[in-house]
Amino acid sequence: MKRIAVLFLMVALAGVARAEDGKSLFDSKCAACHGKDGKAKKMGSPDISALKGSQADIEKVITQGKGKMKPYKASLTPEQIQEVAKYVKGGLK
């Protein structure tokens, strides 16, 4: 029974860490142009605080870039891109 409780706690904490990773990555890689709230319009960046696209669409833009936004496929792992996309899709929360 203790093992199940420990395993559950580890899984729960891992989920929190992943969410924080998405936020941390966004703060370090994206917030300079998009703002921490996603509403900044520096360099013509769009408001991304309430995107309607799918997570896969967001991942594609992060990976390949779009407009003035550079691609991040060389500087972020696929897992990191997924975490940032999840964070953005979740309304930056």
All domains of the chain, ordered by start, with CATH? 2-89 (1.10.760.10)
Whether residue 83 has pLDDT greater than 50:
yes
Mean pLDDT of 56-83: 96
Whether residue 91 has pLDDT greater than 80:
yes
Provide the token pair at 14: 């891992």
User: What does the pLDDT look like over 31-65, one tens digit per residue?
Assistant: 999 999 999 877 778 899 988 999 999 999 999 99
Q: Which of 12 and 40 is assigned the larger pLDDT?
A: 40
Q: What is the pTM of this model?
A: 0.76
Residue 73: phi and psi, rounded to 5, are: -65, -25
Give the orientation angle of helix 55-64 with respect to helix 78-89, to 10 degrees: 130
Whether residue 18 has pLDDT greater than 90:
no
